[in-house]
Structure 1
Amino acid sequence: MQEQNSDAEEGDRSPLLGEPGAPQCHVQRYSAQKVPFCCSARYNLAVMALFGFFMVYALRVNLSVALVDMINSTSSISENTSAKICPVHNITPAVQHNSTGKKYDFDQDMQGWILGSFFYGYILTQIPGGYLAGKIGGKLLLGYGIFCTAALTLLTPLAADLGAGYLIAVRVLEGFGEGVTFPAMHAMWSQWAPPLERSRLLSLSYAGAQLGTVVSLPLSGLICYYMDWSYVFYIFGAIGVLWFIMWLFIVSDAPHLHKSISDSEKQYILSTLQNQLSQQKTVPVCAIIKSMPLWAIVVAHFSYNWTFYTLLTLLPTYMKDILRFNAQENGFLSALPYFGCWVCMNITGLLADYMREKRNYSTVVVRKIFNTLGMIGPAVFLVAAGYIGCDYKLAVAFLTLSTTIGGFSVSGYNINHLDIAPSYAGLLLGITNTFATIPGMVGPVIAKRITHENTVEQWQVVFYIAAAINVFGAIFFLIFASGTVQHWAVTQKKEDEE
């Protein structure tokens, strides 16, 4: 029978790569043969989660493109000011845009509030979502979270017609529904993901967010261009409802609840997690609050999201107003960085697990390497993108590289919750994502205030701020992160204490 080292044991493999002082009660040997991934229940879950997070981000970012088409050109001063900075460079004339959608007089500040309003609901359900997922399981919580968001998306055109306040209210409620999704998924992976497969499983499932951005940005642009911006919300909302129905019938909260999982796979998963999960009925709140490894994740998550959300919500505007791409090009070029990130996430997930399983690197070393690359790299290219100004080819290249390299961080801070406290992974993600939602709330508002005249110099300030925050988060994580299960996250046995 093949034996594999547990994730906790990896921290004690060598004095150079490991972390001294890890609780010895975590050391174990896997008793079951590793089960191939093909047609397995755990990889079926990853694929369904991938499509779920595809919908999470498709429903989230479609407004970023649609809003460009919803605004009266006379309500924005961007055309006059940006034309003096960056010339139009289209080689071929644009196809006539026969938009029949309604137009609204939302000024720059109001647009910032509309784009950021989603996160005011999103922040409220992170911690409750993580707590409930740990108690009742993540399947229904995640499923209904996406279903509610999809249903509200179908109402978005009506809300916009009623006024900016109604549109903001609908977006807040959408955020409220989506706020439970990531904590719920983390809670499910705490029951499903063998430690040495965590990077690849979580990277595959969460890469759906990037894939959703890649598809929804250009597709939304095409829908706006050839149909009507309101169909952006009708089409994606309907697809979200369809995904919800499939999710209910295909996945389960845990291996022992799955109806068609093989006995060998069930035994493999349960044996790898047997000494990593806690049976405590109460949450160790004080220990969690005092945990520096958790605060390392909080700071890294906040810092990464400042850059990510700034580009996610404002990149279509930057492409249109500064780089002067027409509506046909905007959606495709805005999606290009996220395609790169999607590819990077999947490759680095495999590489991270390979380094831990085959090359004998400790978990903490792998997390710190990937997180540093995934935060310092984007900062460098973001500064470069601001510095080169109107060179649109280099600007697109640098913005693409910035977001692509950010995919390394998924195998860094993003998975680290499961390394330090598998039993509370959903709750921990709820905590870190609460802090990490703040950039989504204030980032677009601050960026819109800074870029009132839409000049290259003003956008440089936006990029420099994001890069500085990213560097700080990378350094903090490098100093304080851990890769072993924390003592407060497991049930201590009497013999281990003697």
Structure 2
Amino acid sequence: MAPPDDEPLLPDVTVPPRCCSARFNLAVLMFFGIAVVYGLRVNLSVAMVAMANASEPATPGFNGSATPACPLPPGSENRSRTVEQPDGTPQYPWDAETQGWLLGAFFFGYLCTQIPGGYLAGRYGGSLFLGLGVLCTAVLTVLTPLAAEWGPAWLFALRALEGLGEGVTFPAMMSMWARWAPPLERSRLISLSGNGGNFGAFLAMPLTGYICQSLGWPAVFYICGGAGCLWAAFWFLLVSDDPRTHRRISQEERDYIVGALGEQGSGHGWSVPLASMVTSVPLWAIVLTQMCSNWSFYTQLTSLPTYMSNTLHFDLKSNGFLSALPYLAAWLCATSAGFLADHLIEKKVLGVTAVRKLFTLTGMLLPAAFLLAAAYSGCSHVLTILFFTLTSAAGGSSGAGVFMNQIDIAPRYAGFLLGITNTFGTIPGVMAPIVTGYFTEDQSLEGWRKVFWVSAAVNVAAAIFYTLFGSGEVQAWAVPDREDRTEEDKRTRSVSA
């Protein structure tokens, strides 16, 4: 039987051991770097509870609602929202609107550097951009207490600058894997490294709350920023853009990676085929599907604390692990999905296109079902947490589907394409909370059910669209021409010398 058209064609070479290899060491180091990145991103959202001097007693409903959707726990009627801080720790009189602007400032910068970061990383290699992105964000994080003392305008500007720094990290990561990940190992390597974000959120949420209460909220930013600077030191010391220029890689592994990638394991020139990209149906399938998937992700990310606190009156402060449990489930499921996807391709059970569509369908349809189950769980804390956790776990499987599809259809432009898809994918981060607020002004269960129905419908529509138009084949416009190959060879020889 003839192999599928999109089956990777590899030379007859021996696959070197994966354990302790240069490519898997790179994945582990990236994993911790992305974990730090996500910790730097979410730390303010948790620390804000301690930074803002919101000492008024909690009201039964939301926005003045007199009748809560679910019964209040005994003794909670006069509970204060203030988080106890060590003596001398400053707090600021920021109202809800000010806090909202500060929490959203990050995305103003984050949107600006995704595409240029991906373009430059694809041209010059991603290690410098990924390392500097994390390092700059970490240094700015250390300055957060000083900016907060100067005023909310300074803190807004600082968070926007942090977003500028982090914007280049994921496109740079994908650009590096275009040169390091053999086709039969892409799913596991990219899943292992990229899912540091879920692991970072899982650790950051409960640890940030604990540090706030034990050491004061400024310590959160000193510790997180210090961790980022430490990681950057290891990164610049140990990492190389290309296996051909790595100082500690074995000759066997170098030959395997270079031979497996062939001409696709090179950077692109100054020009990129924008017209072909704009008219590429498989690329639009990735863009629209990631936007829709992120709608569900951001709805859960922004609504879970609000829904559990204001509607179900669940005390998330004393249950930090439960609030972070969905991220743990997503990390475990997404990483496992990456290994399973590679196994299916390697054993020729399915072609690349079929694998990407299978994991995308699983990662879109099952979360839609679990979100609706959470919507109809009533006031049950246990069922709600269970279904939110299952939503995140099932959604993690799309990490082996549409979220790495850029490197399938255009390996040499993978970083640039990820910058494009991530830019579009950030739009739901702005829109989803607005839609949620429109439906849930009174925090009723009926309003929240509309939110979850919208999210589920968006997921189903995206799953159908991607199934019809998605592809795992390298597109004709992504094949390097002779001029690009010659230029890349010259640059590689120059670096090696």
TM-score by length of 1: 0.88
Unaligned runs of 5+ in 1: 1-11
Q: How does 1:348-427 map to 2 (within 5 A)?
A: 348-427=337-416
Which amino acid is the alignment partner of residue 84 of structure 1?
A: P
Larger mean CA deviation between 389-398 and 439-448 belongs to 439-448
Greater RCO structure (CA 8 Å; 6+ sep): 1
Which amino acid is the alignment partner of residue 163 of structure 2?
A: G
Q: CA RMSD in A?
A: 2.7
Q: Cα deviations across residues 411-448 of structure 1 (Å, max 9, x unaligned)?
A: 00111111101010000101111100112233334434
Indicate how the Cα distance of structure 1 residues 357 and 28 shifts in structure 2: closer, same or farther if over 3 A, else same: closer
| Alignment partner, residue 44 of structure 2 | 63
Which amino acid is the alignment partner of residue 310 of structure 1?
A: T
Residue of 166, 169, 180 corresponding to 1:181: 169
What is the CA-CA distance between 1:105 and the residue it aligns to? 4.0
Rounded to whole Å, the distance in 1 between the matches of 2:316 and 2:234 is: 34
Larger mean CA deviation between 271-280 and 122-131 belongs to 271-280
Is the counterpart of residue 121 in structure 1 residue 109 in structure 2? Answer: yes
| Alignment partner, residue 495 of structure 2 | none
SS at match of 1:274: helix
Indicate how the Cα distance of structure 1 residues 13 and 331 shifts in structure 2: closer, same or farther if over 3 A, else same: farther
Which amino acid is the alignment partner of residue 275 of structure 2?
A: C
Is the counterpart of residue 47 in structure 1 residue 31 in structure 2? Answer: no
SS at match of 1:253: coil
Rounded to whole Å, the distance in 2 between the matches of 1:449 and 1:102 is: 34
| Alignment partner, residue 187 of structure 2 | 199
Rounded to whole Å, the distance in 1 between the matches of 2:151 and 2:414 is: 40
Rounded to whole Å, the distance in 1 between the matches of 2:266 and 2:2 is: 23
| Alignment partner, residue 6 of structure 1 | none
Larger mean CA deviation between 148-157 and 66-75 belongs to 66-75
Unaligned runs of 5+ in 2: 484-497
Contact 1:131–1:427 (CA<8 Å) still a contact in 2?
A: yes
Contact 1:116–1:440 (CA<8 Å) still a contact in 2?
A: no
Contact 1:75–1:107 (CA<8 Å) still a contact in 2?
A: no
Rounded to whole Å, the distance in 2 between the matches of 1:229 and 1:374 is: 36
Contact 1:276–1:490 (CA<8 Å) still a contact in 2?
A: yes
TM-score by length of 2: 0.88
Contact 2:118–2:171 (CA<8 Å) still a contact in 1?
A: yes
Which amino acid is the alignment partner of residue 180 of structure 2?
A: W
Indicate how the Cα distance of structure 1 residues 77 and 326 shifts in structure 2: closer, same or farther if over 3 A, else same: closer
Which amino acid is the alignment partner of residue 63 of structure 1?
A: L
What is the CA-CA distance between 1:58 and the residue it aligns to? 0.7
Indicate how the Cα distance of structure 1 residues 106 and 13 shifts in structure 2: closer, same or farther if over 3 A, else same: farther
Rounded to whole Å, the distance in 2 between the matches of 1:285 and 1:344 is: 35
Residue of 98, 105, 121 corresponding to 2:84: 98
| Alignment partner, residue 243 of structure 2 | 255
What is the CA-CA distance between 1:388 and the residue it aligns to? 2.0
Indicate how the Cα distance of structure 1 residues 219 and 297 shifts in structure 2: closer, same or farther if over 3 A, else same: same
Q: How does 1:218-233 map to 2 (within 5 A)?
A: 218-233=206-221
| Alignment partner, residue 461 of structure 1 | 450
| Alignment partner, residue 274 of structure 2 | 285
Larger mean CA deviation between 235-244 and 438-447 belongs to 438-447
Q: Cα deviations across residues 39-93 of structure 1 (Å, max 9, x unaligned)?
A: 1000000000000100111111112222233334457975544772233458999
Contact 1:301–1:414 (CA<8 Å) still a contact in 2?
A: yes
Larger mean CA deviation between 216-225 and 412-421 belongs to 216-225
Contact 2:206–2:320 (CA<8 Å) still a contact in 1?
A: yes
| Alignment partner, residue 209 of structure 1 | 197
Contact 2:366–2:395 (CA<8 Å) still a contact in 1?
A: yes
Contact 2:49–2:83 (CA<8 Å) still a contact in 1?
A: no
Q: Cα deviations across residues 248-277 of structure 1 (Å, max 9, x unaligned)?
A: 101110101110100000000000011434
| Alignment partner, residue 4 of structure 1 | none
Which amino acid is the alignment partner of residue 408 of structure 1?
A: S
Indicate how the Cα distance of structure 1 residues 118 and 466 shifts in structure 2: closer, same or farther if over 3 A, else same: farther
Which amino acid is the alignment partner of residue 233 of structure 1?
A: F
Identity of aligned residues (%): 49
What is the CA-CA distance between 1:315 and the residue it aligns to? 2.9
Q: How does 1:436-475 map to 2 (within 5 A)?
A: 436-448=425-437, 450-475=439-464
Is the counterpart of residue 161 in structure 1 residue 149 in structure 2? Answer: yes
Q: How many residues align?
A: 474
What is the CA-CA distance between 1:239 and the residue it aligns to? 0.7
Residue of 130, 142, 148 corresponding to 2:130: 142
